[in-house]
Structure 1
C-alpha cells in the first residue's frame, strides 16, 4: 500500500498540489509567527560598548510583582550602586572592572553597569557564579549576547511587546492552519471517493485503504513541511524587520529562530494532516463493497458525523463564553484579549457545522434558481444533492469573511476607543517639551498673560504592591500592565487632572503623597489618609499617602504623584514637559504665541497645542497598527489561498460530471453559467455565515471596549472583503472549469 500511495501521488497531481500548497503555506506561516515569539522570549541584544567585557553587572529590570502577578519589566532603567565596582574588582578571577553610565545624568553614587574582564585562564561561567554571590537581589550578571541589555534595558519591554503580539498571532495562525490543512485533505479525499470505493470493490480491506490514505498524506506532509523551513525563516525575518521599521520593536533586538518554531510548525501540519486523513479515510474504508459500486454512479448522501457535531458545539460554546466575558468581565482595555479569540472560535465553529447550517439556507434560496433559467435550476439541484460538496466549498469562504471582517473592525474599534480616551484625558491647552525643564522656565510661563496653570510634568509606569491590586476587581481597566504614574506640582495639578477633586485637596500633593480616582481607591480598599505601597518605574518600592480623590471614570488607571518624587525614579531624573492651561478668557492660539515668543531663544524647546498632540497620537497609532494589519493580512491571505485551493479542487473533481452534461446536450456556456451560479450560491452562504460570526463578535467587542453597539471603522472594509471573496470564488471556480471543458466530453465521461 505504501508503494501504491507513492504512485498515487504521481497520478493525482491536481488534488495533491492543492493539499501540498495548503500544508506548505500553513507550516511556513506558523513557523514565521513562532519564530517571532522565540525572538521576543529570548530578548537577545548584542553588546556594543560592553563587547569587550566577559561579564556585565547591571540592575535587574525584571521582578515578580507579588506571587499573584506574572513576571514584569521595569519601565525605567534600574541603576546600581557605584560602590559595587570595588566589590566586583575584589572577586577572584577579575582582571578589570569598570563602571559605565549610558543614560546621563545618573544620580550621584549610582552607575548603569559594570564591565568585567576575566583573568586569563578563568572560566566565564565560574566567574559569573562568584560575582553573583556578591550581589544583592537588585543586581544581576549578564553574559553572551545578553550583555547588550545593560546598554539598552528598554529592549526587554520591546521584547515583551513582541512576545505578546507574536503569541496571539501564532495561536491564530496555528488554529487556522490546522483547520485549513484538515479541511483541504478531507475535501481532497472526499473527491476521490469513487476511486477508493472501487478499491474496496476489488478486494482491498478497510485497513489497507486507511494505510493508503495515511501513507500518501504523511509523505506529502513531510515534503511540504520540509520545504517550508527556509521560506518560514525568511518570512519570519521579513515580519520582524517590518516591526522594527514601524518602531514596534526596538532596533537593537536580534532576530533569533532556532529549532523550536520548526518543530511546532512541522508537528502542527503533520497532526492536522494525519487527523484529516484518518477521519476522511475512515469513511471511505468503512464503505461496504456493494455500496461502493453504487457510490461510483450517484452522489453520496451521508449522515452528519457525530464527532463533527460535538466539535462544532464545543467551539460554539467556547466562542459564546468568550463573547460574554468580552462584554462583561473583560470590558475596557482587556476586551481584545477575549474578543479576538472569540471571532476565530465562532467562525471556525460555523465552518465545522456548515453542512447542518447550509442545508436550510440552500432550501431557502432554491426558488431563486428559477430566476436564472435552466442553468440556475440545475445549479440549485446540484447544491441540494451535494450538500457536503457545497459545505466544503463554503467553509473557507466562511473563514475568510468572518476572520477578515471581524479582526479588522475589532482593531479599528479598539484604536478609535484608545484615541478618544487620549483626547478626553488631555486637559492642557499646550505642551512645552524640553530636554530639561527648570523651575525658572515654569515660573516665566506661569506669569504670561492668559496662562492659568503651568506645571512640570513627567510620566512613568509602576505597580501597586500594597494593598494587593486584585485582578478580579479591575473591571476591565487594563492594569495588568501596571499603573500610569504622572508627576505634577501641587499648584499645577489643574493642568493634569482629568476630573474635579471630590475628597481632599491636590495642594497637599507634595512629599510622599498620591491622588487617584475614587473608584480605583474603592477597588483597592483605601481612602483619604491611607497608605499605598508603589513599585516605581525603576523598581524602587516607596510608600505614599492618599491626599486627594477625583472622579475620572472606570478607564482611568493613573496615580498622580509629586513631580520630584516621580522624577527621582525615572531614567531622565527630571521633568521634560510643561503642561499649560489657559484662563478661558484668552484664546489658545494667543497663549501659544506668547509661549513661542518666550522660548524663541531656547534650544531644543518645542510648543504643541492639544489638537496637534491628538493628530500626532493618531499617526503614532497608525504606525503601530501597521504590523497588526500586516499579520492579519498574512492570516487572511492564507485563508484566501485555502479557499482557492478548495474551490479549484472541487471543480477539477467534477470533470466527468461536466462531460456527461455536455453529452446529453448542455453547451459549454451553459455548464459555465451553472458553475457560476453554484459559486455565487456558495459565496452568498459563506459570506452570510461569516458575516454572522463577525457581526456577533464585533458588536460584543464594541460594547465591552467602547460601550456602544456601533463599531468603528471604515464602511469600505466590509464591501471590500465581500467583493474580494466573491471575485476569488468565481475565479477559482471558472478558471479550472474552463480548463476542464477543453477536453472532449466522451473522454472525460469515460474516466
Structure 2
C-alpha cells in the first residue's frame, strides 16, 4: 500500500499541498514556542564581572509563602548579611570570600553633564578581582574622593587619570577624581571599600559573594559543602542563600534575568499549548477534508476487494510521506521565528536581553513530534469511516452528502462546549481583574473547538437563518448559490469552520487585551488626584527633592510614590495569586493629599513607620480592620509586621497594598522613590517653578498626570503587545487553514463547473455563483466566530470592567471581518478562475 500511496501523491499533488503547508507552519510555531520555553528554563547568562569566581553566592530571589506550594518571585535585589562572609570562609576548599556591593552610579554626560548615562554601577575595589579588572593606568582608589573607571567609560567620556567625573549616586550628583583606569567589563566604577559602604543604599548587606576555590578541588564537592554550611546555619542567621556555578553565575549580575524568567516560561507555555492544539485541529481538519474529497476513490477501492486495513495503511502512508518532509522544512523557519520572538520580547522588556537564546534538540523534537503525531492522528481519524464502510454502501454514498457527525465527534464536541461553558461561568462569577484572563483565554479555544467539531449542525442552523434575506435580494446566480450551499450544508461546514476559528480567536483575544488595558487605567485614575509628577530617568529621586517640592509656592501637597511587589504571609487567605500583591508607597498625608485612594476608614496621616492601608475587599477577606496587624514579605525578602491605619475602596482585581513611601523605598533595589506626586493649590499653576526645580536635578523631569497613568499601565501595555504579537501568529496560522480549505474545496468542484458550462453556463455566471457562496460562507463564519467571541468577552468584560460591553476600538473588529472576507473570496475566486480556463471536457477527466 505504500507504493500505491506514493503513486497517489504523484497524481494528486494539489490535494496534499494543503496538508503540507499546514504541517510546515504548525511545526514552525510549536518549535518557536519550545525555543522560548527552553530559553526561559535555562536562563543562561554568561558571567562577566563575576567571571573569575568559580562559585557565586546570592540571596534567593523568591519567597515561599507559608502553606503555599509555589514561591513568589522577589522583584527587588535581596541582600546577603555580612555575617555570611565569615561563615563561608571556613568551608573546606574555599580559599577566599570576596563580597560585592552593587549600587547605581551613572555618569553625567552631555553638555555640562545635563543628561544621565543609561547604565552604570558602582562597587568596592576589593571586588574588582572577580572579573578580574586590571589597572592600565593610575592606582586603586584609596581616598574617599577616588574612583576607578573601566576603559570603555574612560574612552567614551574622554577621561584619564586625575580628571574629575560626576556620577549620579543615590539620586544626587557626586564628583570624584579618577585615580585609575581598569580594563574589564564596561559600565562599572570602583571606590574604596569604606566609600562604597557609605554609598550603598543597603549598609550591612552585600549583593553577592564570590568564592575562590583552591586549585585541584572538585568544584561540585565544594559547592555542596557550601550549601550544607548554609543549611546548617539556617535562614535566621545567614538568610536564604543560593549557590551558583557555571553559566548560572551571570544571574547574580542581572537581577532582571532572574525575575523575568517566570514570565518568559509562562508566555511560552500558554501560547505553546494553544498553538499546539490549534495546529492539531488545523492539520486534522485539512486531512479530513482531503479524505472526504476522495470518497469516490475509496469506494472504488473497497468495491474491488481492498480491505479496511489496506485503506488505513494507504492513508497513513500518504500522511507520513507528506508530513515528514514538511516537518524537516519547518525546522529552519521555526528556529528563525523563535529567535525573532525572543528578540521582540527582549526589546519590549518582557525578557532580559542578556539571556542567551537556546533552542536545542528538545524543542526540535517537540515541534517535529507534535506535527507528526497530529498528522498520524488526523490520518487515522480520516481513514476510519472510509476503511470500515461496506463496499456497496461506499459506492452508493460516494456522491451523497455525509451524515452530520458520528458519536465520537459528538462526544468530544459536547465535552469542549461543556468545558468552555464551565470556564465562562468561573470567569464571570469567581475571577476579578487581570486574573480573569487565566480562564477566559482557554474558554475561547474550548468554544471554538466545540463549535468546529459540531460544525455541520451550526453551519446548517446559521445558513438557515441567513439564506432567506439573501434569497429575497438575489438574482438567478445568487439563488443557485443559495440552493447549492443549502443542499451541501454539511460539506460546506468545512469551509465555514476555519473562518469561524479565525474570527472567534482573534476577536476574543484582541478585545480581551483592550478591555483589560482600559479597565486598569480607569481603576488607577479613579482615585488619582495629582496634578503633576516629578519622574527620575535614573533609579530614583534624592530625598531632599521632596522637601524642595513641598516648599515650592502654590503647591498644596506633595508625596513620594514608590511601587513594588510583596506577599501577605499572615493571615494566609489574602486574595492574591502566586505573583504577589502590588505595593504602593506614599507619604503620610491628610485628606487633601495626592494618594490615589478613596478612604473608607482611618487616615493616611498616620501612615508612617511600620503601617499599612488595605483595600476594603482585602481587609474583609483576611478579617483585618484599622488597628489590627498583618505580616508581609516585601520585594527584597524582608519580613515586616504592619499595623493597619486605613482602609480604602478599590476596583476588585486591581487592589494595591499602600505602605509608607520611606518604608517601601528602603526595601527596593535603589532605595529611592522614583516619582513625586504633586497637587496644586486651588487656582494656582506652579508648573514653571517646578520645571526650574526639576532642571536643577540631573535626570529629573516634570510631567503631567497622564505620564503617571502611562507609567502605571506600562507593564500591562507590554503584556498586551506580547499577546497581540502571539495572537497575530495564530491568526496567520488559522488564515492558512482558511486558504487551504477553500482552495482545496474549490478545485475539487472542477467536474461540477464543467457540467454547468456544458449545459450553457458561462464563466462569469459561475464566478457570480461562487461570489454568492462566498458571501454565505463569510456571513456564516463571521456570525459563528462573533458569537464564540462574545460568549467569552461578555463575562470577561463584566469581571474585569463591571460592564457587559467589551472596550476597544471598532476598527479592530472591522479589520478582522474584512480580512476574513478577503481570504474567503481570494481562496475561492482565484482557484476557480484557474480551473475555468481549461476546457470542460478536460476538467471532467482530471482526478479530484
Q: Same fold (TM over 0.5)?
A: yes
Q: Secondary structure at the match of 2:46?
A: coil
In the TM superposition, 1:126-525 aligns within 5 A as 126-135=221-230, 136-137=234-235, 138-296=240-398, 298-367=399-468, 368-369=470-471, 371-434=473-536, 437-470=541-574, 474=575, 479-491=577-589, 495-525=593-623
Deviation at 1:616?
Answer: 5.6
Q: Secondary structure at the match of 1:45?
A: coil
- How many residues were matched structurally? 741
Distance between the aligned counterparts of 1:513 and 1:372, measured in 2? 73
Q: Aligned pair 1:54/2:54, yes or no?
A: yes
Q: Which runs of 4+ in 1 moved over 6 A?
A: none
Q: Aligned pair 1:544/2:646, yes or no?
A: no
On the 8 A contact 2:525/2:596 being kept in 1, the answer is: no
Deviates most, 528-537 or 614-623: 614-623
Query: Compared with structure 1, are the counterparts of its residues 672 and 505 closer, same or farther at alpha carbon in structure 2 (3 Å cutoff)?
Result: closer
On the 8 A contact 1:455/1:493 being kept in 2, the answer is: no
Distance between the aligned counterparts of 1:558 and 1:188, measured in 2? 55
Query: Compared with structure 1, are the counterparts of its residues 101 and 678 closer, same or farther at alpha carbon in structure 2 (3 Å cutoff)?
Result: same
Distance between the aligned counterparts of 2:71 and 2:290, measured in 1? 46
Distance between the aligned counterparts of 1:441 and 1:361, measured in 2? 66
Question: Paired residue for 1:698?
Answer: 793
Q: Secondary structure at the match of 2:664?
A: helix
Deviation at 1:181?
Answer: 0.7
Q: Aligned pair 1:605/2:700, yes or no?
A: yes
Q: Tell me which of 798, 810, 817 is aligned to 1:722.
A: 817
After superposition, what is the alpha-carbon deviation per residue over 1:554-598, rounded to whole angstroms, capped at 9, x for unaligned? 345222223332233211123333222223x233xx122222233
Distance between the aligned counterparts of 1:453 and 1:361, measured in 2? 61
Deviation at 1:381?
Answer: 2.9
Question: Paired residue for 2:836?
Answer: 741
TM-score by length of 2: 0.83
In the TM superposition, 1:543-562 aligns within 5 A as 543-562=641-660
Query: Compared with structure 1, are the counterparts of its residues 119 and 501 closer, same or farther at alpha carbon in structure 2 (3 Å cutoff)?
Result: same
Deviation at 1:32?
Answer: 1.0
Structure 1: state its 5+ residue gaps: none
Structure 2: state its 5+ residue gaps: 105-199
Query: Compared with structure 1, are the counterparts of its residues 492 and 42 closer, same or farther at alpha carbon in structure 2 (3 Å cutoff)?
Result: farther
Distance between the aligned counterparts of 1:87 and 1:295, measured in 2? 83
After superposition, what is the alpha-carbon deviation per residue over 1:400-440, rounded to whole angstroms, capped at 9, x for unaligned? 11111111111111111112123224232222234554554
After superposition, what is the alpha-carbon deviation per residue over 1:357-379, rounded to whole angstroms, capped at 9, x for unaligned? 22233344444347433332332
On the 8 A contact 1:455/1:492 being kept in 2, the answer is: no
Q: Secondary structure at the match of 2:437?
A: helix
Distance between the aligned counterparts of 1:185 and 1:166, measured in 2? 28
Distance between the aligned counterparts of 1:148 and 1:492, measured in 2? 46
Q: Aligned pair 1:572/2:670, yes or no?
A: yes
Distance between the aligned counterparts of 1:686 and 1:451, measured in 2? 59
Question: Paired residue for 1:6?
Answer: 6
Question: Paired residue for 1:19?
Answer: 19
Query: Compared with structure 1, are the counterparts of its residues 612 and 505 closer, same or farther at alpha carbon in structure 2 (3 Å cutoff)?
Result: closer
Q: Secondary structure at the match of 1:713?
A: coil
Distance between the aligned counterparts of 1:440 and 1:493, measured in 2? 24
Q: Secondary structure at the match of 1:133?
A: helix
Q: Secondary structure at the match of 1:481?
A: coil
RMSD: 2.2
Deviation at 1:538?
Answer: 0.7
Deviation at 1:690?
Answer: 0.7
Distance between the aligned counterparts of 2:651 and 2:713, measured in 1? 23
